[in-house]
Structure 1
Amino acid sequence: MRLHRLEITAFGPFATRQQIDFDTLSAAGLFLLHGPTGAGKTSVLDAVCYALYGAVPGDRQGPGTSLRSDHAPAGTCTEVCLDLTAGGRRLEITRRPAQPRPKKKGTGVTTEKAQSRLREYDAARGEWTALSRSHQEIGDEIAQLVGMSRDQFCQVVLLPQGEFARFLRADAEARGKLLGRLFDTRRFALVEARLAELRRAAEQQVRDGDERLLALAHRMGQAAGNAAGAWPAPTHRPGDPGLADAVLQWAAVARADARESLAVAASARSAARTRQSAARHELDAERELAALQRRHDDAVRRAGELAERRPATERARARLEQARRAELVGPALRLREDAEREHDSADAAARRVRAALPAALADTGAERLSELEHELRQELGGLDAARRAELRSAGIARELGELDRQSRDDDVILRDAEGWLADWDTVRRSLQDRIEAAQEAATRAEHLAGRLEPARRRVTAARDRDRLAIRADAVEHDRRSAGERAGAAREQWLDLKERRLLGIAAELAAGLAPGEPCAVCGATEHPAPARPGQAHVDRAAEDAAYEEYAAADRARAEAERELAVLRGAFTAAREAARESAPEVPGDGGGRRASSSVSEPGVPSSSVSEPGVPSSFVSEPGVPSPSVPEPGVPSSFVSEPGVPSPSVSEPGVPSPSVPSPSAAPDDLRGGEAADGAGEPTGPGARGTQAPAGGAAEVRRDPAAAPDPTAVGGSPRAVAVAEHSGGGTADAAPADPALTALEEVVARLEREHRQAHALAAGTHDAREALDRAEREHGERLAARHEAERRAVARTSRREALESEQTVLDAEVARAVGGSGTVADRTALLERRIALLHEAAEAVRAADTAARRLKEADDRLSDAAFRAGYGTPADAATALLDDAGQRDLQRRLDAWQAEEAAVADRLAEPGPRAAAAGPPARPEAALRVFDAAESALRDAVSALDSARERCAELDRLSRLAAAEARRLGPLRDDYERVARLAGLTAGTSADNERRMRLESYVLAGRLEQVAAAATVRLRRMSAGRYTLVHSDARSGGKRSGLGLHVVDAWTGRERDTATLSGGETFFVSLALALGLADVVTDEAGGARLDTLFIDEGFGSLDDQTLDEVLDVLDSLRERDRSVGIVSHVADLRRRIPARLEVVKERDGSAVRLRSSPVGG
């Protein structure tokens, strides 16, 4: 990999674009990168690392840090561009980190995302070709071509200052971390972790199996019940080797005991079953004897009861025979009862009807009543015509009433229509005027809306401009104070540093110990060590002063950055406030407010914006004729050291500034001009007329002066007073801004009014449409009402004539007895009464005849049945239910008598009754006891069987678990041995060396061998680096590093080296490490190397030897860059890249000739 060109913009301490030509530097093979402390030498290396990997070295990429230069202007983007050759390909990498930038619209800042770009040079076509803009793709491509990670690159190519010195003195753990990052031994660490994980997993599986075995043993103890206490349970814990055998042996003992208990329970159940069978047989015999004795006693009792019931049974038999003879009279008796009921009902109805007849007809027969009914019906038929005439007359009366109601309704309609139509012309004109007014308002609202938004923007911009100017005062004051504090802190730090350097001998002497070599001269005797004086300054005081200076300098830089942001925001607000003035409404139509008002003969461009100093927006160092804004110091708008524009001297022409009353007077002048002769109406514009050789601007009465102009601005007066030497506590409010705000408020008010009025256009049109429709409906309603009135007059005359004829006909039919309806109702009532009376008399006569015939039939039937009178037969008569009841009782008595006789004749009950009484209760008690004993024996046998079955099942499970656990335990023991061996904890690992440490030890041995080649040249063959895997202090071994001193022949730890020795040993170690890492990365060629600091601790001879070794690295066209601020190196190395520290940011300078001194 070879670097060709590096471009840095706004990165670290570099504010502007810096370009480094590595081809020119590399031509000499060895070049120097030098400059004062803090100038940015290491930042050049950071830029190379950032271009390749998108990040700076890890110890400088902390949280909250920013790659952007605090000196860079707000509009300059931070960017790094690197041109290099890697893997035989010419590439260009451009990267931009995430950074703030001013917003393109509005004020404030926004964060821009990080960007990357990769291009490749096509030599055939002679142009660059874009490859990718993806961070991921570019990172993968660079990692593949370079063959190293970022950590490896920072250790191999950018040999860091102090890193390998710490590596020499570090313990094995710290060395392992660094080597692990460089050689990527993560796979070996992963093997260790994987084996440990497998060991834990196998151990957990074994423990789980043991816990399952213990759980099965516990369940077997529960299944064994009380018998489990006869033998001890296994006391092993999960993981114990003999746990499985103990559980299986304990299960065998439990099964044997359970089977013995099962045999005992089976014998007990057989004996109990025999006793229960004998008891049941005895109980059955006693129960049978008791049943026979009860059967005989029951038969004797029933025979006595039958004897007592015999007389009643004979009486019931006689009553049944009488009832059966009386059944022959039953039909005649029932016929006579029906005839009697019918006669009584018909006679009562006849008496009731006769009572309603007149006295003359009370005894009239049925035939006469029918004749009278016929006569009345004939008379009723003669009234039908009169009834129809009467109904028609009533209908005519109702129709005449309806005509009267319609007449009244039409009168109301006519009056309403006449009243409404009388005002039609006025209503139509009013609605049309409303529509025209709404349309005009819509046009005006649209016009006002187009002028309102620009006015609002200008008001907002003017407010932001004034606010930013006020904020600028505070920030400028903070910047000045921070600068003063930083200067004072820097002077204090430099003073303390100089005092410490004067007393450095005493500080070095404080670290001397008898017998130990001096870090300066190497002597082991210290006859007169220096003593610190009263004004001695130690390193802690110097560091505290430096920290105080750094904090103050950061505060100053932050204030300058905030001031730069304010400049950008102020510029945007000023430009927005300078937009063309809005048209304002007035009596004479919309006009545009004048953008500036100037005195005759003075160009408007020479007048600055009110409240805005021109130096605020101009480039630093460029004088401006404008008057600075009061309250904003000139140092805020120009760079330090650049003179601010001076105010006008007496006698020098300067922009005239009118008094605060100028703007109102100008406005009043505009009003007079408008009222004098300017046309009114929408769209009228202001006109200009020459007067006295100067142009006069005419304005609308509501127009406001331009906030960006000086004319008419009291703030400008304050500016002028401030420029002339006057002082003020605060700038007065800007009347131009106030006037513009009033214009905006008036525009908004008139726009709302016009918009509200225009919103009624649709409603006005609809109202006119509704009114026109109603006008047509009113005309039609009036015409229809007049037509109906004519028709009603003709109809009324015809109805009245017809009603007169009908009334005469009705009067003739009814005479003087009311209406036809009354006469008809009277006749209908009389006809109904006569008809009912005739029918009732006929029914009564028929019922009397039927009753007499029934009496004759009943007397004849009673005589034939053997009864003297019909009453006797009726008394003896029973219904079917009564006869069935008597017959059932007789049949039951006969059946009971036969059954009792049969039971008394049975031999068994008779023999049982002759013997002793039965005792079933005692036999039942004996049987219950035997049954309970059998149940207990069966339950015990079932429990024993279940116990045996459960123990057999659990034993099988335990045996299966033990068989499954055997291979798992073997795997665990094998994995545990491997894990312990790779982790360095096993007894087989004598050196307690982890696998990763073992691999790193091999790499470290290669590094020591490669470093020794150069170390022997640097130390004139005195020192050799060797790797040691010996243990120290009980720690693990493998990453020890010793140096062999050829002068003494002894091997000692690298921590005993002096300062200069430590440097060239660490340098040799770094170069050797670079060679080994390069080989590890696939032999990628590294044509450019950087070595950062450390040369100041070498004497001249050692420095020459070190430089010779570095110069030898130029073999095969390799270049080496030394980063140092040691002055002696500038004389020895002709090709130099100097980093110059300036107030506004660092810069790089290419030097090609040595500089003396």
Structure 2
Amino acid sequence: MRIHRLEVQAFGPFAERVVVDVDEVSAGGLFLVHGPTGSGKTSLLDAVCFALYADVPGARRKQALRSDHAAPETVPQVVLEATVGGRRLRITRSPEWYRPKKRGGGTTRVQPSVVLEERGAAGWAAVSTRHDEVADVVLDVLGMGLRQFSSVVMLPQGDFAAFLRATPEDRREILERLFDIGVYSDVEQWLADARRDGAAALDGARLGLQGELARLDDVLGAVAPPSGGPALEPESTLAETPVERLPERLAEVAASLTERLTVSMTALDAAETAEAAAARTLAEARATADHRRRGEQARARLAELDRTGEQHRDRAAALAAADRAAGVRGHLAAAARARAELQAAAHEVGTLEQVVHALGADPGTAPVAELARQAQALDDVSAALQRDTVTARELRAGLERGEDHRAGLEARRVEADAALPAAREAVEVAATEVDRLSADGARAVDLAAAVREHERRLALCERVEADRARLAALEPRLLAARDDLSGRLAALIDLQQRRLDGMAAELAAALSDGDPCPVCGALEHPAAAVAADPVTTEHLAEAEQVVAAARSALSVVEVEVGELGAAVRTRESVLDGAGRDDVEAALVAARTAHTEAVAAGHALAAATTALQRRRTEAERLAGEYESLTGTLSALDERLVEVAAEVEATAARLSAGLGAHAGCPCGGGPDAQRHTRVRQALLDLAAAHDAADAAQSRLTATLDDLGSALAEAGFDTEAGAEAALLPVAEADRLRDAVLAHERDRTTASAALAEAEVTAALAAEPPAIGDLEAAVAVARRTVLAAGSEHDALRRAARTLERLRPVLEEACAAVGEQAGRQARIRELADTAGGIGPDNTLRMRLSSFVLAARLEKVAILANERLAVMGAGRYLLEHTDDRAARGARSGLGLRVLDQWTGRARDTASLSGGESFMASLALALGLADAVREEAGGLDLGTLFIDEGFGSLDDDSLEQVLTVLDGLREGGRAVGVVSHVADLRARIPHQVVVTKGPSGSGVSVRAGATAPAA
């Protein structure tokens, strides 16, 4: 995958649209992304991930991607252009966001969107706008998800530093996210599930068997032993019997039950025969006793009825009179209602007559109905009088208010006309002041830029002075380092010469007479050389190391002196010969001018506000004058109209009073009094009519009542009312009369029965003795039946469960064997089996192979970065205290030849190791993803922990990554990298958001 171009808008800290031309900045292969902390360096990487996967790595939420600095209506958007698998793709993606509503207040939700385009021969063509289809295309061409992509392409150093020091179990979780070991994890899970399910099934089978056996034990335990003999299970319960002995025990229990059933059946038949005979005798005795009791009760009831005969006859007579009176009950009620209606009508007439007198409209001898009709005929006249009276009063009051209002308006118009010339003159003065201040304030921006330029030049002067001072301080160190190196070299040369001289003595020491000299071949050695001060190879090696150290120290000082000298020359060329005094004087002058311009700008705002206020006041006075003039003209016209309406209303009032003078209400303009009098007369006429009708109804009702009393046999209305009884009392008397007659009939019929007569003549039977005999026989039957039922239930239960239990025994044995094999295999694959000494899961074993490959790939880079000192090693040593093993990682120090824990590395060493590990993991994941060529890589932070030599070695490795046209982006805020990597993406931040600029090969600005 090769990234060509990235465009970001309203995303993260970037409020405005920023464009990163990756092709331009990565022309040299290696480029730097730098900027202050929080400026948005990592947000650019997040934008790449969001364009591809609609998500960002880490804990950041998609809902918080939109920039808080952006304008409310700005659309958040990321555009990524890249080549993947030979296809040139462009993805434009926008997250969910909220824009202001077009109407009203508040916001409305905007759905996330995506557009995938591909460039062909004819240009860009749309491929899809659906999120799922775009996700499928990205997954198809990249072959990896967001987690793998962010780990392989982004290389976050913090994550891999943690991976370097992680425990095997934590390292396993990281590797699982990077490598697809789903098939092995599925095997582990399948075996674990099979072990759990098998154990559960075996436990369930055992519990089911034990449950059935317990039920059978309960049934067998309920069977009483025969004649106090032993129970069916003398040894132990069936539930306690071993599974392999259960079939034999079940056969023994079945044989015993069959024998007991035969005996219990015979005993039950005999007991039931004896019980039937005793029951028949008891039933006959109870029937005789029942007939005797009925006869005695009938005699006693007849005697009691004879004693209450007189009361029975009185109740019957009262009941007959009440039945006759009930026939005239309706006539009596009708007469009472008619009397009440007549009384109420008379009372209503009296009340209304008092109301009419109170209103002062005494009808005298005139018919009330005629007066009411006269008042009704004048209703419209009275209402018109009322309306005209109110209208006349309101018109007069309005005319007075209008005249007062006109006087006030006229006074305000005079005031506005007098103030208008002064307001217009003030507007002209304020406009002149605004023009002057605007011209002065316009220079503030240019003067501010001049101040910043002079401040920058003054800072350059200070840095030049500081660098010169540092150069002066370095001169003694440089001379001392050179002298030290010269001395060390002289000592080394002296040792080398002495070593050469000593080599002859070493050869001579090995000579003996008769042996040839290895130099001249002579057999005699008359003057063998002797070393006065011998020098060994160890002495030479130590001296060479001392010289190398002195040379390195001199190189450090020379590099520092060279860098400071170059920096001084660069800054002096920028200053172009200007001295500190000249720069300071120019800065003071620029600041003074800028201060004056800023003051003019500040005053401009106040002057503009004053101008606007004075214009507003002048416009208000002119508008008020014109408005008052128009209002006065309209008011004069309206006052004339109101005066005419007053005269017309007065004429209508005079005519109306004349027409209303003969009204029964007494005349006058009061419409409410007219209405009350007219309604009182109408109500009184209606009350007279109602009283006449009530009198007629009462006369007719009394005639009907007399006829009904005579027909029912009553002389007077009072006699009929006295004979009346409440319904409940009449029902009670009727029930008593009928009950008396019914009881006499029933008692006489009972005494006439033959069985009753015979029972009264015989002796009373001994019921108690017969019941006791039946109870004894019944208990015998129940005991025999209970024993027989228990034996029969036990036999049926055993017959039903026996084949099931035998089959369950066989199944439990077979399942136990299979579960033992599955448990052993699952424990081994899960890393907890006794044979798995490393406690490694199957998936961990596969990941261990991946980790070993990663270590090999990482060492290819670490050998260069660490000068060949360190190598990463995968180890499967057993962890302490039974922890899981197999994913260990250690570092081999080739200087000492000993392996040690990765936590012992220094900060810089840890960075180099974690970077090598990240690159190795990226290579391994890329190989597993199908060998996808990643044309663009990003390395995020971590360079600040390196010294100069280590940084140089790391950059050498990164340069090696550029082979094949690959682009490598380094994300860091380390200042030294700006001088070492000329191609840069510079991220800046400010109160209104962050920005991006590209420097393709340009020299980085001086620090």
How big is each residue's C-alpha offset from its partner over 1:273-296, in whole Å with a ceiling of 9 and x where there is no partner? 99989x99xx99xxxxxxxxxxxx
2:980 maps to 1:1127: no
Residues in 2 aligned to 1:417 and 1:124: alpha-carbon distance in whole angstroms? 106
Paired letter, 1:1017: V
Farther-moved stretch of structure 1 (658-667 vs 1074-1083):
658-667
Shift of 1:220: 1.4
Shift of 1:130: 5.3
Question: How is 1:494-643 mapped onto 2 (pairs within 5 angstroms)?
Answer: 600=424
How big is each residue's C-alpha offset from its partner over 1:458-498, in whole Å with a ceiling of 9 and x where there is no partner? xxxxxxxxxxxxxxxxxxxxxxxxxxxxxxxxxxxxxxxxx
Shift of 1:178: 0.9
The CA RMSD measured in Å over matched residues stands at: 5.1
- The question of whether the paired residues in 1 share the 8 Å contact of 2:172 and 2:844 is answered with yes
Question: 2:952: which partner in 1?
Answer: 1104
Question: 2:149: which partner in 1?
Answer: 153
Question: How is 1:920-959 mapped onto 2 (pairs within 5 angstroms)?
Answer: 940-941=787-788, 943-959=790-806
- The question of whether the paired residues in 1 share the 8 Å contact of 2:427 and 2:614 is answered with no
- The question of whether the paired residues in 1 share the 8 Å contact of 2:32 and 2:985 is answered with yes
Paired letter, 2:91: I
2:132 maps to 1:136: yes
Question: 2:892: which partner in 1?
Answer: 1044
SS of 1:990's equivalent in the other structure is coil
Question: How is 1:371-770 mapped onto 2 (pairs within 5 angstroms)?
Answer: 600=424, 646=603, 654-655=611-612, 657=614, 667=624, 670-676=627-633
Shift of 1:136: 3.0
Aligned match for 1:72, one of 57, 70, 82? 70
Question: How is 1:755-904 mapped onto 2 (pairs within 5 angstroms)?
Answer: none
How big is each residue's C-alpha offset from its partner over 1:766-792, in whole Å with a ceiling of 9 and x where there is no partner? xxxxxxxxxxxxxxxxxxxxxxxxxxx
Under a length normalisation based on structure 1, what TM-score does the superposition of the two structures give?
0.45
2:46 maps to 1:46: yes
How big is each residue's C-alpha offset from its partner over 1:64-93, in whole Å with a ceiling of 9 and x where there is no partner? x72233333334333222111122222222
- The question of whether the paired residues in 2 share the 8 Å contact of 1:93 and 1:116 is answered with no
1:928–1:1084 CA distance, 2 compared to 1 (3 A): closer
SS of 1:230's equivalent in the other structure is coil
How big is each residue's C-alpha offset from its partner over 1:1107-1133, in whole Å with a ceiling of 9 and x where there is no partner? 222111111211111112222222222
- The question of whether the paired residues in 1 share the 8 Å contact of 2:427 and 2:615 is answered with no
Question: 2:861: which partner in 1?
Answer: 1014
SS of 2:117's equivalent in the other structure is strand
Mark the runs of 5 or more structure 1 residues left unpaired by the alignment: 237-241, 285-414, 429-586, 588-596, 608-613, 623-639, 682-921
Question: 1:1023: which partner in 2?
Answer: 870
Residues in 1 aligned to 2:64 and 2:777: alpha-carbon distance in whole angstroms? 100
2:260 maps to 1:261: yes
Residues in 2 aligned to 1:965 and 1:643: alpha-carbon distance in whole angstroms? 101
1:198–1:111 CA distance, 2 compared to 1 (3 A): farther
- The question of whether the paired residues in 2 share the 8 Å contact of 1:602 and 1:656 is answered with no
SS of 1:154's equivalent in the other structure is helix
Shift of 1:934: 8.1
2:899 maps to 1:1070: no
Higher relative contact order by CA 8 Å / sep ≥ 6: 1 or 2? 2
1:621–1:191 CA distance, 2 compared to 1 (3 A): farther
1:149–1:649 CA distance, 2 compared to 1 (3 A): closer
2:1006 maps to 1:1154: no
- The question of whether the paired residues in 1 share the 8 Å contact of 2:838 and 2:878 is answered with yes
How big is each residue's C-alpha offset from its partner over 1:265-313, in whole Å with a ceiling of 9 and x where there is no partner? 467679x599989x99xx99xxxxxxxxxxxxxxxxxxxxxxxxxxxxx
Question: How is 1:266-285 mapped onto 2 (pairs within 5 angstroms)?
Answer: none
- The question of whether the paired residues in 1 share the 8 Å contact of 2:30 and 2:983 is answered with yes
Paired letter, 1:1060: G
- The question of whether the paired residues in 2 share the 8 Å contact of 1:275 and 1:930 is answered with no
- The question of whether the paired residues in 1 share the 8 Å contact of 2:840 and 2:884 is answered with yes
Question: 2:720: which partner in 1?
Answer: none
Residues in 2 aligned to 1:649 and 1:47: alpha-carbon distance in whole angstroms? 45
- The question of whether the paired residues in 2 share the 8 Å contact of 1:621 and 1:643 is answered with no
Residues in 1 aligned to 2:785 and 2:177: alpha-carbon distance in whole angstroms? 78
Question: 2:234: which partner in 1?
Answer: 230
SS of 2:890's equivalent in the other structure is strand
1:945–1:995 CA distance, 2 compared to 1 (3 A): same
Mark the runs of 5 or more structure 2 residues left unpaired by the alignment: 225-230, 282-370, 385-408, 410-419, 432-437, 447-596, 639-768
Residues in 1 aligned to 2:605 and 2:987: alpha-carbon distance in whole angstroms? 43
How big is each residue's C-alpha offset from its partner over 1:190-214, in whole Å with a ceiling of 9 and x where there is no partner? 4333332332222222222222222
SS of 1:646's equivalent in the other structure is helix
- The question of whether the paired residues in 1 share the 8 Å contact of 2:214 and 2:238 is answered with no
Shift of 1:1011: 1.1
Aligned match for 1:1093, one of 922, 938, 941? 941
SS of 2:992's equivalent in the other structure is coil
Farther-moved stretch of structure 1 (164-173 vs 664-673):
664-673
Shift of 1:232: 1.4
Question: 1:34: which partner in 2?
Answer: 34
Paired letter, 1:90: R
1:668–1:1114 CA distance, 2 compared to 1 (3 A): closer
1:135–1:248 CA distance, 2 compared to 1 (3 A): same
- The question of whether the paired residues in 1 share the 8 Å contact of 2:157 and 2:915 is answered with no
Question: 1:126: which partner in 2?
Answer: 123
Aligned match for 1:110, one of 102, 107, 110? 107
Shift of 1:222: 2.1
- The question of whether the paired residues in 1 share the 8 Å contact of 2:879 and 2:885 is answered with yes
Residues in 2 aligned to 1:642 and 1:249: alpha-carbon distance in whole angstroms? 115
- The question of whether the paired residues in 1 share the 8 Å contact of 2:97 and 2:112 is answered with no
Paired letter, 1:251: L
SS of 1:1084's equivalent in the other structure is coil
SS of 2:64's equivalent in the other structure is coil
Residues in 2 aligned to 1:651 and 1:261: alpha-carbon distance in whole angstroms? 123
Question: 2:909: which partner in 1?
Answer: 1061
Question: 1:698: which partner in 2?
Answer: none
- Aligned-residue identity in percent: 41
1:249–1:643 CA distance, 2 compared to 1 (3 A): farther
Residues in 2 aligned to 1:125 and 1:47: alpha-carbon distance in whole angstroms? 28
1:122–1:40 CA distance, 2 compared to 1 (3 A): closer
Paired letter, 2:166: A
Shift of 1:979: 2.5
Aligned match for 2:172, one of 152, 176, 180? 176
SS of 2:196's equivalent in the other structure is helix
Residues in 1 aligned to 2:198 and 2:610: alpha-carbon distance in whole angstroms? 99
- The question of whether the paired residues in 2 share the 8 Å contact of 1:1010 and 1:1075 is answered with yes
Question: 1:991: which partner in 2?
Answer: 838
Under a length normalisation based on structure 2, what TM-score does the superposition of the two structures give?
0.51
- The question of whether the paired residues in 2 share the 8 Å contact of 1:1064 and 1:1106 is answered with yes
2:21 maps to 1:21: yes
Residues in 1 aligned to 2:929 and 2:27: alpha-carbon distance in whole angstroms? 27
How big is each residue's C-alpha offset from its partner over 1:683-715, in whole Å with a ceiling of 9 and x where there is no partner? xxxxxxxxxxxxxxxxxxxxxxxxxxxxxxxxx
Paired letter, 2:907: G
Question: 1:1118: which partner in 2?
Answer: 966
How big is each residue's C-alpha offset from its partner over 1:405-451, in whole Å with a ceiling of 9 and x where there is no partner? xxxxxxxxxx99999999999999xxxxxxxxxxxxxxxxxxxxxxx
SS of 2:955's equivalent in the other structure is helix
SS of 1:19's equivalent in the other structure is strand
Paired letter, 1:200: R
- The question of whether the paired residues in 2 share the 8 Å contact of 1:210 and 1:243 is answered with no
Aligned match for 1:199, one of 195, 201, 205? 195
How big is each residue's C-alpha offset from its partner over 1:724-759, in whole Å with a ceiling of 9 and x where there is no partner? xxxxxxxxxxxxxxxxxxxxxxxxxxxxxxxxxxxx
How big is each residue's C-alpha offset from its partner over 1:566-596, in whole Å with a ceiling of 9 and x where there is no partner? xxxxxxxxxxxxxxxxxxxxx9xxxxxxxxx
Residues in 2 aligned to 1:939 and 1:655: alpha-carbon distance in whole angstroms? 115
Paired letter, 2:260: S
- Paired residues in the alignment total 597
Residues in 1 aligned to 2:785 and 2:635: alpha-carbon distance in whole angstroms? 130
- The question of whether the paired residues in 2 share the 8 Å contact of 1:223 and 1:951 is answered with no
Larger Rg, first or second structure (1 or 2) = 1
